Amino acid sequence: MRALFRRSLLSKLIVSYLAVITLTLIVMGIAAMLNAPDALDRHMSGMGGSQHMQSVSGDMMGDLRGNLLATLIEVLLIGGAIAAAVTLAVSVILSRRIVQPMRAIAAASQGVAAGHYRQRVPVTSSDELGDMAQAFNHMAERLQETERRRIELIGNVAHELRTPLASLKLQLEGVIDGILTSDASALLDMQRELSRLQRLVVDLEDLSKIEAGQAVLDLRLVQVGEVIQAAASRLRPQYDDKGVSLLVTLPVELPEVRADANRIMQVLMNVLGNALHYTPAGGTVHLRSWVEQQEVCVEVSDTGSGIGAEHLPHIFERFYRVDKSRTRVSGGSGIGLTISRQLVEAHGGRIWASSAGVGKGSTVTFVLPLANQRNGG
């Protein structure tokens, strides 16, 4: 019984209601008993003065007083018993209304803890209990979304690894069985697949660190212009090899931003690398930067394959590639822009893409707040 009382909020609430009514009745009883004799005497002495009561003897008055007191006690006892019964009934109903939502949340929490992320509880009131149910549902929704992304990520990674691994295995088996010669070109093919796998693993590692908030940014005052020039110089030989022109337009002076220069370089290499990748020979990539509304804007526009409007909102998602049928040899892993977005956002900036349509080139723009903005002015 004690254990039940200790563990059940319902019984605690009912007992507390009963304790309040019992206390009220006791106080009422004591007050009535203390006041009743004096009150009776006062009222009866008033009656004794009347003509009608003058014939009533002193004994009869005593009797009457005793009976009146007994009646009062009886009425108090019956009234008290009825009040206690009604209180008990009402307290059971009220307590259930309080306890039931809490039990539902407790049961649903256990479900979520066991991995049933679809669990929700009904929101039946707009008080604190309703707020609690709403907060629980919100938490369950977020957990469900995180779980969905986790499963999706595992599926994507497995999918990304399957093709290069299968291709490597086939080539190796061919060489072992003597069907393929282990000449330089076969070995080069294998090396290319391995490099791709290695890059994918490095990208995944990077992405998981950034998403887990473990990638520490080495924030310093940085001249964006210098980082842009350095990125362009690094990629220029590849642009020249492919026959794509790389134009750089910078203002004479660009203000400083508080940033991790290596990470900004990583974003630029990815965006410029994509522009080169998706622009055929003879095309042009234009890298520009300017200051607008307390932000440094960096824009990379190309005259390449362009991006269909239906794909634009998705290209920053993990593993999203516009051309899904593209062979692994010609394509990337589809997480470069995801990493870029995470990095730009970690700097307090934004990144987006636009395109006039397929075959009409694309533009990727990112903005970073000026150093004095991030410092709070």
Give the footprint of ligand ADP on this chain (CB under 6 A): 270, 274-275, 278, 302, 304-305, 307, 315, 320-323, 331-338, 362
Q: Which is nearer to ligand ADP, 76 or 346 (CB)?
A: 346
The least CB distance from residue 195 to ligand ADP, in Å, is 14
Q: Which residues face 245 on adjacent strands?
A: 284
Q: Please, where are the H alpha helices in 178-223?
A: 184-211
CA atoms within 13 A on the CB side of 215: 20
For β-strands 284-292 and 256-259, DSSP reports them as unpaired
- Nearest approach in angstroms of CB 164 to ligand ADP is 14
Q: Report the alpha-carbon distance of residue 218 to residue 261 in Å, rounded.
A: 8
Closer residue to ligand ADP (CB): 91 or 362: 362
Q: What are phi and psi of 220, to 5 degrees?
A: -140, 170
Give me the least distance between CB of 226 and ligand ADP, in Å please.
24
Task: Give the side-chain half-sphere CA count within 13 A for 111.
Answer: 17
SS3 264: helix
| Reduced 3-state DSSP string for 138-155 | HHHHHHHHHHHHHHHHHH
Minimum distance, C-beta of residue 253 to ligand ADP, in the bound complex (Å): 28
Of 95 and 305, nearer to ligand ADP (C-beta) is 305
254, 257, 255, 271: which is closest to 341 by C-alpha? 271
Q: How many helices (H) and strands (E) does the chain have?
A: 9, 7
Q: Are 285 and 352 in contact (CB under 8 A)?
A: no
Smallest distance from ligand ADP to CB 317, Å: 8
Alpha carbon distance 55, 237 (integer Å): 132
Helix, strand, coil tally for the chain in percent (to 5): 65, 10, 25
Nearer to ligand ADP, 140 or 197 (CB): 197
Tokens of 256: 């400083």
In angstroms, what is the minimal distance from the CB of 269 to ligand ADP?
Answer: 11
Nearer to ligand ADP, 156 or 373 (CB): 156
| For ligand ADP, the closer CB: 140 or 272 | 272
Task: Give min distance, CB of 240 to ligand ADP, in A.
Answer: 18
For ligand ADP, the closer of residues 109 and 365 by Cβ is 365
**CA 105 and chain centroid, separation:** 19
Using N-to-C axis directions, what is the helix angle for 336-346 and 261-277, rounded to 10°? Answer: 150
Distance CA 48, CA 57 (A): 10
Q: Which is nearer to ligand ADP, 164 or 336 (CB)?
A: 336
Nearer to ligand ADP, 101 or 349 (CB): 349
Least CB distance from residue 229 to ligand ADP, whole Å?
Answer: 20
Name the residue number minimizing CB distance to ligand ADP: 332
Q: Cα torsion for 13, 19, 24, 29, to the nearest 10°? A: 150
Least distance in angstroms from the C-beta of 375 to ligand ADP: 31
